[in-house]
Structure 1
Amino acid sequence: MRVQTQSGWEWQVSNDIFKFIKNELYIELRFFDVAFSELIPQVDETIETMSTDGNCIFFKPEHMISVFKKNSKYLDRLFLHSVLHCIFSHLWVRGERDLFIWGIACDIIVEYTIDNMEKEILKRPLSWLRMQVYEKIDENPDGISAAVIYRELMKTDSETVNRLHMEFYTDTHKHWPKEDKMSVAQNQTKDKWDKISRQSEIKKESQGKDSDKGKNFWQQQVKTERGKKSYRNFLRKFCILKEELKIDMDEYDLNYYTYGLRIYKNMPLIEPVETKENLRIGELVIVVDTSYSTSGELVKKFLRETFTILSETDSFFRKRKIHIIQCDELVHSDITVTGDTDIDILINNFELAGGGNTDFRPAFEYVNNLIDTGEIKKLQGLLYFTDGKGKYPKKKMPYNTAFVFIDKLSETAVPAWAMKVSLE
Structure 2
Amino acid sequence: MGNRVELDEMGKRILDASRTELYLSMRFLGPALHSLGWIMDLSTAFVGTDAAMIRFNPNYLFQLYVNRPRFLNRTYLHMILHCVFRHMFTAREKEDRELWDLASDIAVDAIIDSMEYRAVAELTPEYRQKWYSRLEEEIHVLTAERIYQYFIERKRNYLEEMQLAQIFAYDDHSFWERMEDEEENPSGENSRQKDSDNSPSGNTDSKNDSENDSENDPGPGNVDPDSKKDSQTGNKENNKEENKEKNSERNARRQQPSGRQDEGGNKDSDRRNGDEKNDEKNGEKNTHEKSVRKLKKIENLNRQWKETSERMEAELLASGKEASQDRGSLDRILSISNRRRTDYREFLRKFAILREVTTIDPDSFDYGFYNYGLEVYGNMPLIEENEYREMNRIRTLVIAIDTSASCQEVLVQRFLNETAAVLRNIGQFFSSSEVHIIECDEHVQDEIVVRDISDLEKYAESFHVKGGFGTDFRPVFSYIEEKRRTGEIRDMEALMYFTDGMGIYPEKPTDYDTAFVFFNDEELDDTKVPDWAMKLYIRGEKLVSSS
How many Å apart are 1:34 and its aligned residue? 1.3
**Aligned match of 2:21:** 24
Query: Residues 516 and 533 of structure 2 are in contact (CA less than 8 Å); yes or no, is this contact kept in structure 1?
Result: no
**Aligned match of 1:171:** 171
SS in structure 2 opposite 1:58?
A: strand
Distance 1:160 1:16, change over 3 A: same
Q: Identity rate of aligned residues, in percent? A: 20
**Aligned match of 1:73:** 70
Q: Does 1:365 align with 2:454?
A: yes
How many Å apart are 1:364 and its aligned residue? 3.0
Q: Does 1:119 align with 2:107?
A: no
Query: Residues 11 and 40 of structure 2 are in contact (CA less than 8 Å); yes or no, is this contact kept in structure 1?
Result: no
Q: Aligned ranges for residues 199-218 of structure 1 at < 5 Å?
A: 199-210=311-322, 212-215=324-327, 217-218=329-330
Q: Distance in 2 between matches of 1:236 and 1:175?
A: 39
SS in structure 1 opposite 2:109?
A: helix
The match for 2:337 among 217, 225, 228 is 225
Q: Distance in 1 between matches of 2:448 and 2:297?
A: 47
Q: Does 1:105 align with 2:103?
A: yes
Distance 1:142 1:235, change over 3 A: farther
SS in structure 1 opposite 2:38?
A: strand
The match for 2:129 among 131, 141, 144 is 131
Q: Aligned ranges for residues 75-94 of structure 1 at < 5 Å?
A: 75-94=72-91
Greater helix proportion = 2
Which residue identity lines up with residue 34 of structure 2 in the other structure?
S
SS in structure 2 opposite 1:405?
A: strand
Which residue identity lines up with residue 62 of structure 2 in the other structure?
I
**Aligned match of 2:437:** none
**Aligned match of 2:6:** 9
SS in structure 2 opposite 1:38?
A: coil
Distance 1:45 1:217, change over 3 A: same
Provide the alpha-carbon RMSD of the alignment: 4.4
Q: Distance in 2 between matches of 1:53 and 1:360?
A: 56
Deviations 1:278-304 (A, max 9, x none): xxxxxxxxxx9865058447976xx9x
Query: Residues 49 and 175 of structure 2 are in contact (CA less than 8 Å); yes or no, is this contact kept in structure 1?
Result: yes
**Aligned match of 1:43:** 40
**Aligned match of 1:308:** none
Q: Does 1:57 align with 2:54?
A: yes
Distance 1:291 1:70, change over 3 A: closer
Q: Distance in 1 between matches of 2:490 and 2:302?
A: 40
**Aligned match of 1:315:** none
SS in structure 2 opposite 1:422?
A: strand
Distance 1:298 1:26, change over 3 A: farther
How many Å apart are 1:114 and its aligned residue? 0.3
How many Å apart are 1:12 and its aligned residue? 0.8
**Aligned match of 2:195:** none
**Aligned match of 1:194:** 306
Q: Distance in 2 between matches of 1:405 and 1:296?
A: 12
**Aligned match of 2:160:** 160
How many Å apart are 1:112 and its aligned residue? 0.4
Q: Distance in 2 between matches of 1:57 and 1:219?
A: 25
Q: Distance in 2 between matches of 1:203 and 1:163?
A: 37
Distance 1:393 1:185, change over 3 A: farther
Q: Distance in 2 between matches of 1:147 and 1:393?
A: 44
Q: Distance in 2 between matches of 1:80 and 1:14?
A: 17
Q: Distance in 1 between matches of 2:337 and 2:78?
A: 16
Query: Residues 290 and 327 of structure 1 are in contact (CA less than 8 Å); yes or no, is this contact kept in structure 2?
Result: no
SS in structure 2 opposite 1:170?
A: coil
How many Å apart are 1:35 and its aligned residue? 0.8
Deviations 1:198-229 (A, max 9, x none): 222333344444255232521211101112xx
How many Å apart are 1:74 and its aligned residue? 1.3
SS in structure 2 opposite 1:51?
A: strand
Say how many residue pairs are matched.
297
Deviations 1:349-378 (A, max 9, x none): xxxxx9975758489315889xxxxxxxxx
Q: Distance in 1 between matches of 2:162 and 2:76?
A: 23
Q: Distance in 2 between matches of 1:124 and 1:413?
A: 39
Which residue identity lines up with residue 86 of structure 1 in the other structure?
C
Query: Residues 92 and 177 of structure 1 are in contact (CA less than 8 Å); yes or no, is this contact kept in structure 2?
Result: no
Gaps (5+ residues) in structure 1?
239-287, 304-322, 331-353, 370-386, 397-402, 415-419
Distance 1:8 1:164, change over 3 A: same
Gaps (5+ residues) in structure 2?
180-291, 348-398, 421-439, 459-472, 481-487, 494-514, 519-525, 536-542
How many Å apart are 1:165 and its aligned residue? 1.4
Distance 1:221 1:113, change over 3 A: same
SS in structure 2 opposite 1:121?
A: coil
SS in structure 2 opposite 1:92?
A: helix
Q: Distance in 1 between matches of 2:346 and 2:50?
A: 29
Distance 1:365 1:299, change over 3 A: closer
Deviations 1:86-126 (A, max 9, x none): 11121223463222111111110100000111223213342
Which residue identity lines up with residue 202 of structure 1 in the other structure?
A
The match for 2:148 among 147, 150, 171 is 150
Deviations 1:5-38 (A, max 9, x none): 6111111111111110011111110111111111
SS in structure 1 opposite 2:89?
A: coil
**Aligned match of 2:436:** none
Q: Distance in 1 between matches of 2:533 and 2:70?
A: 48
How many Å apart are 1:66 and its aligned residue? 2.2
Query: Residues 50 and 58 of structure 1 are in contact (CA less than 8 Å); yes or no, is this contact kept in structure 2?
Result: yes
Taking structure 2 as the reference length, the TM-score comes to 0.46
How many Å apart are 1:412 and its aligned residue? 6.0
Distance 1:393 1:64, change over 3 A: farther
Which residue identity lines up with residue 292 of structure 1 in the other structure?
T
SS in structure 1 opposite 2:133?
A: helix
SS in structure 2 opposite 1:144?
A: coil
Distance 1:17 1:326, change over 3 A: same
Which residue identity lines up with residue 195 of structure 1 in the other structure?
E
Q: Does 1:292 align with 2:403?
A: yes
**Highest CA radius of gyration, 1 or 2?**
2
Which residue identity lines up with residue 109 of structure 1 in the other structure?
A
Query: Residues 100 and 148 of structure 2 are in contact (CA less than 8 Å); yes or no, is this contact kept in structure 1?
Result: yes
How many Å apart are 1:48 and its aligned residue? 2.2
SS in structure 2 opposite 1:54?
A: coil
SS in structure 2 opposite 1:120?
A: coil
